[in-house]
Amino acid sequence: MNIAALPKIELHCHLDGSLRPNTILDIAKKEGIKLTSLEPEELQKELIAPLECESLDEYLERFTIPNLVMQSKENLSRITFELFEDAAQENVKYMEVRFAPLLHTAKGLDVEEIIQSVLDGMKDAENRYEIKGNVILSCMRTMSAESAFDVVEKGRKFLGKGVAAIDLCASEEEGFCGKFIEPIALAREYGYRVTIHAGETGIGENVLEAVELLGAERIGHGVFIKDCEKAYNIVKENNVTLEMCPTSNVQTKAVDRYSEHPINDFHKDGIKVTINTDNRTVSNTTMANECNIIFKEFQLGDKDYQQIYLNSVEASFADTETKEKLKTYLK
Ligand SMILES: O=c1[nH]cnc2c1ncn2[C@H]1C[C@H](O)[C@@H](CO)O1
Ligand SMILES: [Zn+2]
């Protein structure tokens, strides 16, 4: 199978984990931002989380440097454009990019300006390449419920104009969903779709709560439903789609090695799985690489590719017309 040439869809990709190292260097030089290294290769080492990482929290340390250069409208638009450009060049036809607006206010931008800048970058790429996109607004679980309300309110006016959904991300604690019931309920009322990072660090119950308490339609990762029967069953019965990110899961030690990844067991059992990068730079990967690893490891074939691609189409937060178009790429 020539995966590089096949059409792809990506539903789980963080903007701040997917910057080109050269862009970071370029902006840092222009803005006088101090980096520990000005050599692209050295910088890249600092940006990539090693496969021998200990935990999700260690993985998340890699986001400090990128966020230093994501504090102006121009930079946010440029970085978003470049991410879509990179994706288009590997035949990604549709991509949902997520980011946490509140991480980009350090130099005075307001949340609306931040969202608009990301949308501008995405629109430029859509006009130039054969790719479509939507944006998912992530709320940091490490911040207050109030801060999540803030994102939900300020993002509202962009719904249907490039913003499609709300997400919760960052370090995962047991029972985190309870704290965010109200802001996520308000988001649903406003028309946001809902995807939640859960079950990434050993706590399958978080997936159950994300579905039951927050109305999650999709789950970021969800690896640990394998150890929680109730979570497993609710995901399977409700067709909750899992956004799986194999390399990231090895790095954060959700699994010790690719061969232990539960994606194929889930897939064989009829759970709707999708394949994603999570973070192109921090995980040093691409969609083609993630697909190649999984298809080789579990000896999957054309039928599996079509099924997983269609899972991504169906679970995407795209409009009906876009979904129909995406299906035509398979033929
Ligand atoms: O895989 C992840 N799990 C939880 N949080 C994550 C993951 N990848 C990135 N993030 C965090 C770090 C970023 O700063 C934030 C917004 O994109 O999302
Ligand atoms: Zn993620």
The tens digit of pLDDT for each residue in 107-151 reads: 999 999 999 999 999 999 999 999 999 999 999 999 999 999 999
Check whether 331 has a pLDDT greater than 80: no
Q: Is 45 helix (H, G, I), strand (E, B) or coil?
A: helix
Determine what percent of the chain is predicted with pLDDT higher than 90.
96
Q: Is 40 helix (H, G, I), strand (E, B) or coil?
A: helix
User: What per-residue confidence (pLDDT) applies to 38?
Assistant: 87
57 is in an annotated binding site: no
What ipTM does this complex have?
Answer: 0.99
Which pLDDT tens digit goes with each residue over 299-320? Answer: 999 999 999 999 999 999 999 9
Out of 200, 217, 243, 290, which one is annotated catalytic? 200
Assess contact for 94 and 164: CB atoms under 8 A.
Answer: no
User: What per-residue confidence (pLDDT) applies to 265?
Assistant: 98
User: Which architecture, in CATH terms, is 11-328?
Assistant: Alpha-Beta Barrel (3.20)
Confidence of residue 46 (pLDDT cuts 50, 70, 90): very high
User: What per-residue confidence (pLDDT) applies to 52?
Assistant: 85
Single-letter code of the amino acid located at 322: T
**Mean pLDDT on 190-206:** 98
pLDDT, the chain, mean: 97
- H/E segment holding residue 233: helix 229-237
Q: Where are the domains of the chain?
A: 11-328
User: What per-residue confidence (pLDDT) applies to 37?
Assistant: 87
User: What per-residue confidence (pLDDT) applies to 35?
Assistant: 93
Ligand 1 contact via 278 beta carbon (within 6 Å):
yes
Between strands 92-99 and 193-198, the pairing is: unpaired
User: What per-residue confidence (pLDDT) applies to 239?
Assistant: 97
Ligand 1 contact via 16 beta carbon (within 6 Å):
yes
Q: How far is CA 101 from CA 22, 72, 200, 292, 299, in A?
A: 23, 12, 22, 32, 40
Q: Which of 14, 64, 68, 96 to mutate to test the pocket of ligand 1 (most atoms within 8 A of CB)?
A: 14
Question: Taking CA 38 as the corner, what is the angle to CA 35 and CA 42, rounded to the nearest 5 degrees?
Answer: 95
Name the closest-CA residue to atom 10, ligand 1.
Answer: 170
Which pLDDT tens digit goes with each residue over 240-289? Answer: 999 999 999 999 999 999 999 999 999 999 999 999 999 999 999 999 99
CA distance 61 to 279: 13
Structure tokens at 263: 């994606």
Single-letter code of the amino acid located at 168: L
Q: Which of 13, 53, 63, 103 to mutate to test the pocket of ligand 1 (most atoms within 8 A of CB)?
A: 63
Which pLDDT tens digit goes with each residue over 160-189? Answer: 999 999 999 999 999 999 999 999 999 999
User: What per-residue confidence (pLDDT) applies to 179?
Assistant: 98
**Mean pLDDT on 228-243:** 98
Tell me which of 9-18, 49-58, 201-210, 213-222 is least confident. 49-58
Looking at the CA of 254, which ligand is closest? 1
Tell me how far the alpha carbon of residue 247 is from its chain's centroid: 13
Q: What is the DSSP string of 91-131?
A: TEEEEEEEE-GGGG-TTS--HHHHHHHHHHHHHHHHHHSS-
Single-letter code of the amino acid located at 14: H
Structure tokens at 188: 């649903």
Which pLDDT tens digit goes with each residue over 68-101? Answer: 999 999 999 999 999 999 999 999 999 999 999 9
Q: Is 89 helix (H, G, I), strand (E, B) or coil?
A: coil
